[in-house]
Amino acid sequence: MGKSHQKGWVSVRGKKWYGYFRRTVIDPKTEQPKNVSTPVALGLKSEMTKFEAREKLEVEIKRLTGHVTEDGVVKNGSVTFEWFVHNRYLPLKEADWKEETAKTKRLLIRADLVNAFKDVRLEHIDKLALQTHLNRMAKTRSKDRVLQARAYMRAIFAEAVDQDFLPKDPARSIKVPSVLLETDKTTLTWDQMRTALSILPLRDRIVLKLDMSNALRPGELFGLRWGCFDPKLCQIEIRETVYKGKIRPWGKTKGSLTKIPIATQLAEELQAWRRQSLEEQRHQKTWHGPMADSPEAFIFAGRNGGFIDATNYRNRVLHKLAEQLGLPKLTFQVIRRTIATLAKDKGHVKDIQGMMRHSRLATTTEVYMQSLEEGVRSTVNSIYEELSDTGTSGPVRTTRIHQQGQQQVSELTNAARETTTTTTQTENSCAKPVRGVVLEFATRLRQSRERRELLSN
């Protein structure tokens, strides 16, 4: 009869030693893990002792599974990467994700990781396989996509270690590939945006004016209702967002749902648009949504009174406009990036962060703000002028330098005049002695004669 051992157990069957250990496998009927005992033939009883049989069993367990736990249960026996992701990783993480976010993350994980390591057992995936896959992705995928795949990869294998499915994390030291495809950094100019606004009809012109002046996200823009608009205070309150056909009572960040100021002239244009849209809705027989005079009506309503789909608007209006004007690219993301970049000369960086409603300042400065060639050239010229001692930092410095220069010139001129006057007086005194000097000389001469006569007597 075999005896239990912390790394399995051995027993004699006929003339041979057999070892047994428990491992977790997936039941094909229930798709759930279950513990089974796995037998291993170790060798003849006449050729090894029981202790030697136990040592060989330990070697066989490591060879077959790569993992031995203290209680003798090998949990990663036939657990594949796909099974672990769907049955152990996603159920834990989806509780912290919103519905749309979870859907997007599932698609990315399946496309970038599960399809590559679908039927591979967890213990057979090593660091080399993961790094090679990430390097291959870097050649065809964007920088953000590669970084996301690396983050999911590390999170999945860290969870596998925490749940004792692996003894060591193979993704712990995975490096980001040195060569990554550049992300889109397209920005427009003020003239390009003015030209785009000038050829649009009233509704689309107000849509882009509101989007450009306040850097709204499309979900925030098309989720606005007339009840959010306050013409007296010239502000709009973002109360909800729309995303993929659904209305959400939350935004992308904590600061997304807030009150934003709008320009006075834009508030007047919104009121004009409300009157025009109300008149059009009254003459439309198939209108099923709330009228524009209702607070529940969308400011930019679709054909049937619902909200506009951002993807449809981008393809139907923005892409067509970019092609018509010859713009490199025109999307809501390009507009937000452009406004964040051009606004550097219009306000403080903290004000721009507030306008963009970013939780972190680094998102505004490192992701959205881009360096422009004109700005770089101006900075280089200013530095060179400072090094040449001809640079200025404003009107105060210019005036002070000018006054100092005039004062120095005046002092030099006065000194030159005083020197010239003194020299002239000296020359004149030597050429023509004045009367007082002659009389003083005669008086001293007479006193000297009288003193000599007194001494001789």
Domain extents in the chain: 9-74, 81-162, 190-370
Tens-digit pLDDT profile for residues 318-339: 999 999 999 999 999 999 999 8
What's the rounded Cα separation, in Å, for the pair 27 and 21? Answer: 18
**Torsion from C-alpha of 192, 195, 197, 201, nearest 10 degrees:** -140
What's the rounded Cα separation, in Å, for the pair 101 and 109? Answer: 12
CATH of segment(s) 190-370: 1.10.443.10
CATH T-level assignment (fold) for domain 81-162 = DNA polymerase; domain 1 (1.10.150)
- Give the confidence band of 305 by pLDDT, cuts at 50, 70, 90: confident
What's the rounded Cα separation, in Å, for the pair 290 and 297? Answer: 5
Residue type, 249: P
- Give the confidence band of 208 by pLDDT, cuts at 50, 70, 90: very high
**Given this chain, do its domains 81-162 and 190-370 carry the same CATH topology?**
no
Tens-digit pLDDT profile for residues 270-304: 999 999 999 988 888 778 888 989 999 999 998 87
Q: Name the burial class of residue 87, with classes exposed (0-12), middle (13-18) and buried (19+) by CB atoms within 10 angstroms of its CB.
A: middle
**Torsion from C-alpha of 383, 386, 392, 393, nearest 10 degrees:** 60
The pLDDT of residue 23 is above 80: no
CA proximity to 298, closest of 204, 205, 224: 224
**Once rounded to an integer, what is the mean pLDDT over residues 359-382?**
73
- Confidence at residue 452, expressed as pLDDT on a 0 to 100 scale: 61
